[in-house]
Structure 1
Amino acid sequence: MKDIFSGLDDLGFENVDGLNLYGEKDKKENEPENDFNENSLKDLSHLYDKKLTCPVCGASFTVKAIKTSSYRMKGKDSDFFIRYELVNPYFYDVWLCNSCGYAAMKADFEKIKSFQKDLVKQNITSRWRGRTYTEPYDLAISIERYKLSLLNYVYMDAPASKKAMNCLKLAWMNRLEGDSKMELEYLNQSLKGFNDAYFNEDFPIYGMDRFTTMYLIGELNRRIGNGEEAMLWFSKVITTPSVNKRLKELARDQKDLIKCVKSDENKDSSESYTTSSKKKGFLSSLFTK
């Protein structure tokens, strides 16, 4: 879990890299500059201020929200990451109270229990130094805010599904940044959480029914290299009668993709063996046994 919470030192959280997201034993193993570019004013035109009251400390504050007319989807990845034009909604998905440090994805911000408020005050507020962000938000800022949200979820003992979705969105942001190493780390952590949630939480999970979650678990397995495990989950989706046609098609596509990759690997392995055998035969002909 190295670097999952990196970059939060200046905010008062110096020693948090060893935290376990899901309670299991820990297996230990640069952010770009925030430039105010020529598109900044254009990006701001898609935003408006939304007034909130912090459910933890009661402070009033505003967050940036995106105008409905500014949502422009241009594509979707196989793990449900939506790619947008004009402005990126993921950059504004985390709401943060600068008074107490409470942060959560906007879908969860108001859904905090009394005992969790106490945990936030004990573990977050007591160390919070405050943070001011330049606007509009960029990739580096969004990653930091998602990390703060994840840190809150860990300290407030949030359900595995919340930590899993937070990690998935961090994986997506690192994908945009081109950091494949950290993307893979967050995908791994997201998979752990969704596996836990699938067996221990009620559906829907962030709008996903049981079968959509099954597909996502399969896709996360595929992306981290667990091809055989991914095939099992995709097969469950495909063979379940009540699953909608579109989801079955997605599962078949990803299952076929795994087969193609496996076929190519076997072909490369076979060609390597043939080449090696030929070399061995040539050398053997030069020496008597």
Structure 2
Amino acid sequence: MFDKNKFFQTDLVCPVCKAKFKQLKLKTSAFRIKTRDIDMCNTYEGINPNLYSPVVCPECGYANLDHSFQNNLSDVVITLLQKELPKSKLYKIDVTGERDYVRAIDAYEQAIYCANIAGHSASLLAGIYFRMTCLAKSFGSSDEDEYRQKAIEFYEKAYDHEEFPLGGKMSQTLVEYMIASMYFKLNKLEQAIYWLNFSISRDPKGLTDPKAHAMIKELWMTVKSVIKNK
């Protein structure tokens, strides 16, 4: 049952069509992190905030993650989006209100559609697919591993071609951990071991990010235990 007291509305302006609209946002008091899995996906008490992470303009269908939605776009990108968005799934469809899993995935897919047109960074696409992975996991969807594999693909692209910290937040060691842990969850142990060894060899004392380095070492012990018991 929808509880409006757990939400508030924020005013937004679409960077593509300049439409003004209100977006439903979840209050921080409406959820609590219960546990965090080895792949950094959280289990929540209350409402899963990943349901509301993507923002979609109800007028033109432009979509992005909430923290990037109002970023400026070049005139060339705006023109491309204005041409392609009328062909998209959520063109002139309002998903600014309450969402279930299916509606949230629609919004994420719209964000991917827009990111590909706009040429957004691989790290942004990785973040989208990572959130989709965690959302699918929390709802028991069979799409979880498919999204996880796509997240790996774009984290690896970002690792090779973007500057650290990714998105101004993610250290090199943390990205190495993210990739290794997702390979581990896919039971691709050879690839997980490669990234763990690489990370430890690159920064054996963990000077880049001590917290992430400790996570790398802990994951390495877990992988060794799995291999030993096979």
Per the normalisation by structure 1, the TM-score is 0.71
Q: What letter is aligned with 1:95?
A: V
**Residues 239-248 or 217-226, more deviating:** 239-248
Within the candidate set 172, 182, 187, 2:134 is matched to 172
> Residue deviations 1:65-111, cap 9 Å, x none?
12243342212122222222222211111111011110000121122
1:122 maps to a residue whose letter is: K
Distance 2:44 2:51 in 1: 11
- Equivalent residues in 2 for 1:186-225 (5 A)? 186-206=147-167, 207-225=169-187
- The residue that corresponds to 1:95 in the other structure is 55
The letter of the residue matching 2:215 is L
CA contact (8 A) 1:102 1:125 kept: no
1:79 equivalent in structure 2:
39
- Residue in 2 that maps onto 1:11: none
Which secondary structure state, in structure 2, belongs to the residue aligned with residue 124 of structure 1? Answer: helix
Is 1:110 equivalent to 2:70 in the alignment? yes
Deviations 1:124-161, CA, capped at 9 Å, x for gaps: 13555422349532222211111111111112221111
CA distance in 1, matches of 2:56, 2:140: 26
Task: Check 1:254–1:247 CA distance in 2 against 1; reply closer, same or farther (3 A cut).
Answer: same
Distance of 1:222 and 1:112 partners within structure 2: 37
**Which residue in the other structure is 1:246 paired with?**
211
1:119 aligns with 2:80: yes
Q: C-alpha distance in 1, partners of 2:2/2:177? A: 37
Corresponding letter in the other structure for 2:159:
Y
* Structure 2 residue aligned with 1:160: 122
Distance 2:140 2:85 in 1: 30
The 10-residue stretch of structure 1 (206-215 or 256-265) with the greater mean CA deviation from structure 2: 256-265
Check conservation: 2:33, 2:44, Cα contact below 8 A. Answer: yes
2:9 is aligned with 1:49: yes
Q: Among residues 60, 80, 83, which one is paired with 2:20 in the alignment?
A: 60
Q: Kindly tell me the number of residue pairs found equivalent between the two proteins.
A: 224
Shift of 1:232: 2.3
Q: Which residue of 2 aligns with 1:26?
A: none
Distance 1:105 1:163 in 2: 10
8 Å CA contact 1:40–1:135 kept in 2: the answer is no
RMSD between superposed Cα atoms in Å? 2.0
Q: What is aligned with 1:258? A: 223
CA distances 1:178-206 after superposition (whole Å, capped 9, x unpaired): 123x2111111111111110110112224
Q: 1:215 to 1:129 in 2, by over 3 A?
A: closer
2:217 partner letter = R
Letter in 1 for 2:172: R
> Structure 2: how far apart are the matches of 1:138 and 1:87?
11
Q: Which ranges in structure 2 are unaligned for 5 or more consecutive residues?
A: none
Separation in structure 1 between the aligned mates of residue 68 and residue 119 of structure 2, nearest angstrom? 13
Offset at residue 112 of structure 1 (A): 4.1
- Using structure 2 for the length normalisation, give the TM-score: 0.88
Tell me how far apart the structure 2 counterparts of residues 151 and 88 of structure 1 sit (CA, whole Å): 23
Paired with 1:203 and 1:52, the residues of 2 have a C-alpha distance of 29
Equivalent residues of 2:171, 2:209 under 8 A apart: no
CA distance in structure 2 between the partners assigned to 1:101 and 1:201 by the alignment: 28
